[in-house]
Amino acid sequence: MAQPGSYNSNNSTSDLNKIVLDYLYRKGYSRTEAMLRLEISSVGAIPEEQQDWNIGAPETYIQVYILLRDWIDGTLDLYKPKLQKTLYPVFVHSYLDLLQKKEKEMATFFFDSFRVEHEVLHGHDIRLLDELKTNSDADESEISQLYRKNKYRINLTKATFDLLVQFLFDNEANGSGIIIRLLNQYIDIKIIYAKTNEPSKPDAQTILELNADQKSIVVEEQPEGIPGHSEQLFDYNKQNIYLGKRKIPEELLPEIKAVLEERDKGLQEKPFLATTHPSLTLEELFEKEQKSIAENIDSVPPDLPLPSLRIKDIEAYVSSLDNRRNSLQLGKDGTPPSVFMYTMHNTYSSLNCAKFSPDASMFATAYADSSVQLHMSNNLGPQALVGNQNEPLDTIKLIGHTRPVFGVSISPDNEYVLSCSEDGFNRLWSKDTQTTLVKYAGHNAPVWDICFSPYGYYYASASHDQTVRLWSIEHTAPLRVFVGHQNDVDCLSFHENANYIATGSSDHTCRLWDIRTGNTVRVFTGQNSSVSSIALSPDGLLMASADDTGFVHLWDLRTGCKLQVFEKHQSPVYSLAFSYDNTTLATGGADTDVNVWDIKGLNSKAESAEDNLLYNFKTKETIVYDLQFTERNYCLGLSAT
């Protein structure tokens, strides 16, 4: 009598394979089982004549691609961004397979049906692939050889990889063998381990299982795609955009110059202030800014229309000019930064977000109990909160939302407050009447962030429904809907000239949108996790983004290229703030620290992130929710216990 599990010469290869896989599964070697499954076709465990390459119908490629795409769309948000990266190489090699099988019509139909999903991130290569028309093109063209002879690298976490393998082998009857073969032949999956407070190491079981293939274990992410092949976003990010300041209407110039002249005259009458004020007058500073705009007048597109400026707005503009003229010069060669920290005590983790007003005279906080609070200073100085450290603030409470509030924003003229909530609504509040003026409905899911335009009147909101919407405070329906992110849009920020919006998403990307056309003009990839905060520099040339793992990325808006990565934080970063002289970047978040980075003398060859770190400020273990530089370059912070 044969012993259980003994070898029987009548057992087929597939039966033996099943016995091995079942044994590994029972013993808990799930990872080895997964790797063995993926390697089956490459080691010949499935006879070549039984593989789909020879017997599979061409339409199976379409069916299995749709199956994979729809399954990824239905997975948890935790896994979706990584899994979505598998779709592009599967798309490319499915198309090349069909061409090599001489299924020209089916290849064209497949390519035209799904190319739009990949054109933003891979537009350059998509256009080259579109030129392939025959099987000889697929065999001999440079773009085909590039993909066929070089494995496309994808970084997946262990849990994500296991999830993908489980799906593929649960759907073998539906044609997923095609994807398994493509993964084996043309895709290099690297297993990564997420960054935590303590360096993450593969456990002993994983090391034992992967002992024969240690190259598959990496703790930090490596560049994805084909090694040495430039990402196609380079071409996409070449679109012309104007990042300069907004042009002041000609009819307002005489009025503004009159106010500037009056301010300068008042200063001249007080000679004792001459030593503390810069030699540049307000008129000269104004002319300097206008000259820089005039030099680029040919490239300046039409601005987004705004209501006519009021006398109050002109006075505020002149005051802003004066503040910036008298601001501190920060950086390695300048004045050390100061951080004025306001701490909300006994919030019991109910504080969701906080935001300072542009002129540093008040701040708003939003809570899980669906309320919004506005805290105002009685000081009438140019930066009221800085000069009001030891005086109590006036506080008003705004009630109206029915679910937790996740975003707040204060208008540039301090007359209104915006809030957004899990209830799916945006609300516009009056500071004077302390009531809701307008309730905006448009999103069909929780709204995570909201932001006023630098000139007021317009605002934008970001939502769980994967869209960003542009609104006017005078209209209850959105003016624009920006669609393109593949997951929640978590944070947003307006460009200084109010013509662009930058957004960060749980799909691990950031985008820059042109408000006038509604199109994406820049895409930024390379974040390790969901984007938790985003900010644009006052000169309009730089963008900073931070993710849930604590990495802070600095980008050049002109090219879409990453300039630097700062790695000091160990937890999600909730706030980013550029100084008004564009020399430093302040960052703060869940690890309770405030870090100030040098970005003027950026050392791109730094051996460590701390080479660009100017200062590290410790709080009393309070989470930092918001940072903002005043126009005079003092840094305000808000934390909570």
pLDDT at 404: 97
Q: Where in the chain is the domain with CATH 2.130.10.10?
A: 407-620
- Give pLDDT, residue 250: 78
Looking at the chain, the whole-number percentage of residues with pLDDT higher than 90 is 40
Residue 164 CB: number of other CB atoms within 10 A? 25
Domain 407-620 has CATH 2.130.10.10: yes
Average pLDDT over residues 81-95: 92
Residue 66 pLDDT greater than 90, yes or no: yes
Half-sphere exposure of 424 (CA within 13 A, CB side): 7
Answer positive or negative: Cα dihedral of 91, 97, 100, 101. negative
Q: pLDDT-derived band of residue 46, with 50, 70 and 90 as boundaries?
A: very low
pLDDT confidence of 35, banded at 50, 70, 90?
low
One-letter amino acid for residue 604 of the chain:
S
Tell me, what's the pLDDT at 42?
41
Q: Give pLDDT, residue 271.
A: 52
Four-residue CA torsion sign, 445, 447, 453, 456: positive
Measured distance CA(87)–CA(585) in Å, rounded: 36
pLDDT at 612: 84
Say which DSSP state 91 is in: H
User: pTM here?
Assistant: 0.80
DSSP letters, 297-347, are GGG-PPPPP-PPPPHHHHHHHHHHHHHHHT----STTSPPP-EEEEEE---
Residue 609: CB atoms within 10 A of its CB come to 17
What does the alpha-carbon distance between residue 534 and residue 259 come to, in Å, rounded to a whole number?
35
Distance, CA of 590 to CA of 572 (rounded, Å)? 6
Q: Residue 638 above 90 pLDDT?
A: yes
Q: Give the other-Cβ count within 10 Å of 8's Cβ.
A: 10
Mean pLDDT of 153-177: 88
Asked whether the predicted pLDDT for residue 259 surpasses 90, the reply is no
How sure is the predictor about 595, in pLDDT bands with cuts at 50, 70 and 90?
very high
Stretch among 322-336, 472-486, 597-611, 621-635 having the lowest mean pLDDT = 597-611
- Per-residue pLDDT band at 407 (split at 50, 70, 90): very high
Position 272 scores a pLDDT of 45
pLDDT class of 323 with cuts at 50, 70, 90: confident
With beta carbons less than 8 A apart as the criterion, state whether 149 and 139 touch. no
Q: Report pLDDT for 43.
A: 39
Please tell me the least confidently modeled range out of 151-165, 284-298, 560-574.
284-298
Return d(Cα 639, Cα 41) in angstroms, integer: 56
* DSSP result, 366-424: EETTSEEEEEE----STTTTTT-TTSPPEEEEEE--SS-EEEEEE-TTSSEEEEEETTS
pLDDT at 226 over 90: no
Residue 82 confidence (pLDDT) above 80 = yes
- Confidence grade of residue 371 (pLDDT, cut at 50, 70, 90): very high
Structure tokens at 495: 């460009």
Q: What percent of the chain has pLDDT over 70?
A: 80
Alpha helices in 101-157 (DSSP H): 104-114, 119-130, 135-140, 142-149
Residues of the chain with CATH 1.25.40.500: 13-236
**Residue closest to 452 by CA, chosen among 441, 444, 461, 443:** 461
pLDDT score of 214 more than 60: no
Q: How far apart are CA 529 and CA 292, in angstroms?
A: 38
- Average pLDDT, integer, range 364-380: 92
Query: How many other CB atoms sit within 10 Å of the CB of residue 47?
Result: 10
Tokens of 381: 């100085």
Locate 75 and state its tokens: 């997975």
Asked if residue 395 has pLDDT above 90, the reply is yes
C-alpha closest to that of 113 among 48, 59, 53, 55: 59
178-191 average pLDDT score? 89
Tell me, what's the pLDDT at 20? 60
**How confident is the model at residue 287, as a pLDDT?**
81
Residue 225 is classified by DSSP as: B
Q: Is the pLDDT of residue 48 over 50?
A: no
pLDDT, mean over the chain: 82
Q: How far is the C-alpha of 410 from the C-alpha of 78, rounded, in Å?
A: 32
User: Quick one: which of 104, 113, 169, 166 has its CA closest to 137?
Assistant: 104
CA dist 481 → 510, 520, 597 (Å): 16, 12, 35
Q: How confident is the model at residue 204 (pLDDT cuts 50, 70, 90)?
A: very low
Side-chain half-sphere CA neighbours of 520 within 13 A: 21
Instruction: Please state, in angstroms and rounded to a whole number, the distance separating the CA atoms of residues 445 and 496.
Output: 28
In tens, the pLDDT along 490-529 reads 999 999 989 999 999 998 999 999 999 999 999 998 887 8
Q: What is the mean pLDDT of residues 292-317?
A: 75
**Residue type, position 626, single letter:** D
CATH topology of domain 13-236: 1.25.40
